[in-house]
Structures are given as C-alpha cells and as structure tokens.
C-alpha cells in the first residue's frame, strides 16, 4: 500500500506513494474536505485539475443526508458525486464528539440526535464500517471516542478503552467486507487524550490490530499549539514506518510542517475552504482578509506566481468588491486559491524532503509566513 522513496536526513519527514483502489497518490499530501459529497464552493473538476487525487467525505453528514438507500442506488459516493479519484471517509466520531448535548456514548455504540431534524440514530462500530462500504470508501476510519482537553484521567482511560474495543469490532466487520471483495482500506485511530501513558497504550493496542494504516486522533481539538506539537511528536514515535500515517484535522502551514516533520503522510482540515468563504486567504506572507479597505485599489493578485484563477485573472481589488457585494463568485475564487496554495505547498515540501533540505525550507517558509505584523 505504501512505498517510501526518501527519508529526510534530519527529521522523520518522508516522501512516497500510496496505492489505493482509485489510483496512486504522492505523500505527504493534504486532503480537501468534501463534507456532503462536495468540496464547498468549488467544482470537483477544479479540484481534479489542481492535481488532488484524494478528498475527504463525512460519514456522519452523508449518513443523515442523503442516506444509505441513495448510495446503494447509485453504487457509492464516487458515482453519486462524479468524483473519479480516491475518497477517505471519517467515522463520524468527531461529529459525535462535537454534538455533546445531543448524544450518549455506551460500549455498544453511540445514540445521538440529528442536527437536521432532531431524529434519533444509533451508530455502532459495525454499522459505521458497513455504511462506509456502501459509500465505496478507498480509506475508511474506525468509530472512535474523541475527547476534549482537560478531561479527567478516569474519563480518558474509559475513552481509550472504548476506542480499542470499537477498533477490534470495526476490524472484524471490515474483514467480512474484505472477504466479500471490498477493496477499501480501514485505518485504526489512536486516542489517549493528553496523557502520555494513555497515548502509548492506545498506540500499542491499535498497532497490534494490524490495520493497513494508522491515524492519530484527539489532537488539534482546542489545545495550545505547544501541547499539540508535544503530543504529536510523542505519539508519532510509536507508529510503524511501513504503514501510512494520518493526522486528523490539521491544515494550516505551521501545523502541516509540524506533521510532516514527524513523519505524517496524510492530513485534512476544513480551515482552507471555510476561511476562504469568509474572505480570508493564504499568502506566503501570512493570511490576509480580502474584505479590508486597503485592498480596494490594489491591482495586484492575491499571490504573485500562483496559478489559480483568482490570481491569474483578477485583482485583490476585484476580489474585495465581490465579497463586499455578497457575490458568490468571491468565495468560489478564494476557495480555489486556498486549495491551490496548499497543493503547491505540498509539492514544494515533497521536493525539499527529496533534496534533504526540509528543515531549512520549513524555517524559511515559516519565518516569512508567521512574521509579526502580517
């Protein structure tokens, strides 16, 4: 599944290829998030043309709407959404975590109320795997219990125990689907909150189950950046080098560099598309808000050298006008720019690793990107 072609000489960063049912992708790679079967405010054709070959779909949202019957009728999410490349689907665990007032977690699974119509639903490790098989996921995730920072050690132990138990049940169900001819890969998820002994225990228990890939969960959930980096480095040291590694929920340059430095191969985040819809875009000099008055007379592009439509055809001044006028074209162009920015960044990162200059590239990039006053 994973072929590593180069390991950085100074860090755990690495490059390689990941073979999946809908084609091979280069890693490390960022995945755009397509929550409802579409990356918001941009066409699949545009995402495809940039070079992305793996996007993320959200099991929780797709389960509620349009539902299993629709995907059975269409033959999966690829056909339903006309996306010809790979799709990773999460388990819905994070959405359940974020809906704390509307769910109850038990050993058998999770009972929750729909945010759409208030109806009650029940998810189990087995049903989550079954639904992701119906979606035709190229990579699917186990149902896990994600926990917020600052919970008690006792609650963290319980969540860690339940995550492992659910992982075992998920794998047993996936083995059945595999025997029936399903080619999608199941990744286990490491939890353990912000307790190092639990992180180590969770890592050992999930790795022992011998999943095709391993994900690190429970980070970037509101903890300070220093804590994120500490626990990322601590957890990643336990991961087997021969398997793909996925860090869930990160997607800004500083967090991406931290992930790659620790040997992570895949990551995703809604940040790039969500902020774009609000008029905030990536540049090498940091993020800028296109709505600010200072851009009104600016004839230059968002970023010199960027090949996206926003930068090759339009000015910052025009972009500001679109957002101030409430035109839908503004969020569409900004979304394209942010995804192009991250795609290009990943190309540069892979080049720097292969040339053994990742550390210097990281320093130079972040010195400029995080410069005070941007």
Q: To which residue do tokens 């006792």 refer?
A: 154
Q: In 3D, which of 269, 265, 258 has the Cα closest to residue 231?
A: 258
Q: Which DSSP string corresponds to 198-239?
A: HHHHHHHHHHHTT-SEEEE-S-SSS--HHHHHHHHHHHHTTS
3-state secondary structure of 271: helix
Contact present, 16 and 354 (Cβ < 8 Å): no
CB atoms within 10 A of CB 361: 16
Q: In 3D, which of 144, 139, 112, 111 has the Cα closest to residue 125?
A: 144
Q: How far apart are CA 311 and CA 302, in angstroms?
A: 6
Clarify whether 138 is annotated catalytic: no
Out of 8, 138, 265, 268, which one is annotated catalytic?
268
Q: How far apart are CA 232 and CA 217, in angstroms?
A: 10
Out of 8, 90, 144, 265, which one is annotated catalytic?
90
Residue 194's Cβ-side half-sphere holds a number of Cα atoms within 13 Å equal to 17
Contact present, 361 and 8 (Cβ < 8 Å): no
- Both structure tokens of 250: 């990160």
| Ramachandran category for residue 289: left, alpha or beta (phi over 0 → left; psi -120 to 50 → alpha) | beta
3-state secondary structure of 57: strand
Beta bridge partners of 30: 267
Q: How far apart are CA 210 and CA 202, in angstroms?
A: 13
- Both structure tokens of 176: 């059945």
Q: In 3D, which of 279, 177, 259 has the Cα closest to residue 215?
A: 259
Q: How far apart are CA 250 and CA 30, in angstroms?
A: 9
* CA terminus-to-terminus distance, the chain: 41
Clarify whether 268 is annotated catalytic: yes
What percent of the residues of the chain are helix, what percent strand, and what percent coil, each to the nearest 5?
A: 45, 20, 35
**Active site residue ranges:** 90, 268
């Amino acid at each position: 599944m994973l072929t590593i072609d180069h390991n950085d000489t100074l860090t755990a960063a690495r490059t390689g290829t990941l073979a999946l049912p809908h084609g091979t992708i280069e890693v490390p790679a960022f995945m755009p998030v397509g929550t409802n079967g579409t990356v918001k405010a941009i066409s699949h054709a545009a995402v495809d043309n940039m070079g992305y070959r793996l996007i993320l779909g959200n099991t929780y949202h797709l389960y509620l709407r349009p539902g299993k019957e629709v995907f059975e009728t269409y033959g999966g999410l690829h056909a339903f959404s006309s996306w010809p490349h790979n799709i990773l689907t999460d388990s819905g665990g994070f959405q359940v975590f974020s809906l704390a007032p509307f769910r109850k977690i038990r050993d058998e699974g999770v009972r929750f109320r729909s945010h759409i119509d208030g109806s009650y639903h029940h998810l189990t490790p087995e049903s989550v795997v079954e639904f992701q098989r119906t979606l035709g996921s190229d990579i699917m995730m186990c149902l896990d219990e994600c926990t917020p920072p600052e919970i008690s050690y006792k609650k963290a132990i319980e969540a860690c125990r339940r995550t492992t138990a659910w992982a075992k049940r998920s794998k047993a169900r996936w083995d059945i689907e595999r025997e029936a001819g399903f080619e999608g890969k199941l990744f286990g998820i490491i939890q353990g909150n912000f307790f190092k002994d639990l992180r180590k225990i969770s890592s050992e228990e999930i790795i022992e189950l011998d999943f095709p890939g391993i994900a690190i969960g429970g980070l970037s959930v509101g903890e300070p950046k220093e804590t994120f980096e500490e626990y990322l480095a601590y957890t990643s040291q336990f991961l087997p080098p021969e398997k793909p590694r996925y860090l869930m929920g990160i997607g800004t340059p500083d967090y991406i560099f931290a992930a790659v430095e620790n040997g992570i191969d895949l990551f995703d985040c809604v940040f790039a598309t969500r902020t774009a819809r609000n008029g905030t875009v990536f540049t090498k000099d940091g993020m800028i808000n296109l709505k600010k008055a200072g851009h009104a007379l600016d004839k230059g592009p968002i970023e010199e050298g960027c090949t996206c439509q926003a930068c090759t055809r339009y000015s910052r001044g025009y972009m500001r006008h679109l957002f101030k006028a409430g035109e839908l074209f503004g969020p569409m162009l900004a979304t394209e720019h942010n995804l192009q920015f991250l795609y290009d960044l990943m190309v540069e990162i892979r080049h720097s690793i292969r040339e053994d200059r990742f550390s210097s590239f990281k320093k130079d990039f972040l010195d400029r990107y995080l410069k005070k006053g941007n």
